[in-house]
Amino acid sequence: MSFKLTSALVLVAVCALSACQQDDSAETPVVESVAEQSAPVVLEHTLAALPGLEESVPVLTRKQVIVMHTDAGDVTIEVYPEAAPNAAARFVELVTNGFYTDTPVSRVVPGFVAQFGVNWRENYVAWQDNNFDDDPTLFALERGTLAFAKAGPNTNSTQVFINYIENNRLAVPQYNFTVFGKVVEGMDVVDSFKQVGDPSGGLDQGRLWNDGENYLNSLADKPTMILSTTLIE
């Protein structure tokens, strides 16, 4: 009886150990799955590092998608917060506040840039002097990329330009224009934006800021208008 009891106890102990081992092995994939789900997913995108800065550019894991509705058609823009945090945050803030609604593409220089971002209306005009600090310039200013226009260091506010060609010369330290997003659909629409005003300077920005409605009404050749912008993702 003693031998049988001992054997039974051993058998129970072995079974218990075996069950524990099976439970552990069953739980392991669940732990790994949770870890995998929490890891950031690297985005597929077409931004390129500036030459020589390939080791400095951040990994992009986030994007925000904005559709700019114009009277020439729709333009879809991807904004990458990790590429230029200050610029990306400001652009999205302006979009969500309706700043670009019913504003002109005020400067179109074929083979260079298309620029927009002046709103003279009472609720928005104060943004003209609401500057934010520069971000480091790390990504190439290739065709379709977006950057804020400015008059010197840390003077970014509301105006943005879309590059028609590769403009990496604008990334040198004395300019430091910084890519924060890119047109991913509708670049043909951007190509069709009307050139108005001075061939290199576009419309008179002072008049736009001070009396934009009457200024636009006085023009024989009307600019392309941004009807609205929508954050969709």
Q: DSSP for 155-198?
A: -B-S-EEEESS--GGGGSTTT---EEEEEEE-HHHHHTPPP-SB
As averages over each run of 10 residues, the pLDDT of the chain (233 residues) reads: 41 41 51 59 92 95 97 98 98 98 98 98 96 97 98 97 98 95 98 97 97 97 98 88
- Number of residues that make up the chain: 233
pLDDT at 13: 43
Do 93 and 200 belong to one domain?
yes
pLDDT at 123: 94
Do 171 and 220 belong to one domain?
yes
Do 207 and 138 belong to one domain?
yes
CATH number of the domain to which 148 belongs? 2.40.100.10
Give a yes or no: residue 48 inside a domain: no
Give a yes or no: residue 2 inside a domain: yes
Give a yes or no: residue 165 inside a domain: yes
Do 32 and 73 belong to one domain?
no
- How far apart (Å, rounded) are the C-alpha atoms in residues 91 and 78? 11
Do 143 and 206 belong to one domain?
yes
Do 93 and 154 belong to one domain?
yes
Based on the structure, what is the number of domains in the chain?
2
Please state, as a whole number, how many other Cβ atoms lie within 10 Å of the Cβ of residue 60. 18
> What is the residue-wise DSSP string for 43-84?
PP----BPTT-TTTSPPP---EEEEEEETTEEEEEEE-TTT-
pLDDT at 34: 52
- Provide long-range contacts, Cβ within 8 A and 24+ apart, for 35-38: none
- How far apart (Å, rounded) are the C-alpha atoms in residues 152 and 157? 11
Do 8 and 89 belong to one domain?
no
Do 30 and 76 belong to one domain?
no
pLDDT at 40: 80
pLDDT at 33: 53
Do 27 and 73 belong to one domain?
no
Give a yes or no: residue 94 inside a domain: yes
Do 85 and 196 belong to one domain?
yes
Give a yes or no: residue 118 inside a domain: yes
> What is the residue-wise DSSP string for 104-146?
E--EEETTTEEEE----STTTGGGGG--BPPPP--B---TTEE
pLDDT at 39: 72
Do 21 and 129 belong to one domain?
no
* Residue ranges making up the domain that contains 202: 64-231
Give a yes or no: residue 54 inside a domain: no
Using alpha carbons only, what angle is made at residue 211 by residues 146 and 197, rounded to the nearest 5 degrees?
55
Give a yes or no: residue 51 inside a domain: no
pLDDT at 6: 41
SS3 85: helix
The answer to whether 141 touches 170, Cβ cutoff 8 Å, is yes
Q: C-alpha distances in angstroms, 106 versus 59, 164, 216?
A: 34, 15, 10
Using alpha carbons only, what angle is made at residue 211 by residues 205 and 215, rounded to the nearest 5 degrees?
75
Do 73 and 12 belong to one domain?
no
Handedness of CA 155, 134, 161, 75 (dihedral sign): negative
Give a yes or no: residue 57 inside a domain: no
pLDDT at 233: 72
Does the predicted model carry a pTM greater than 0.75?
yes
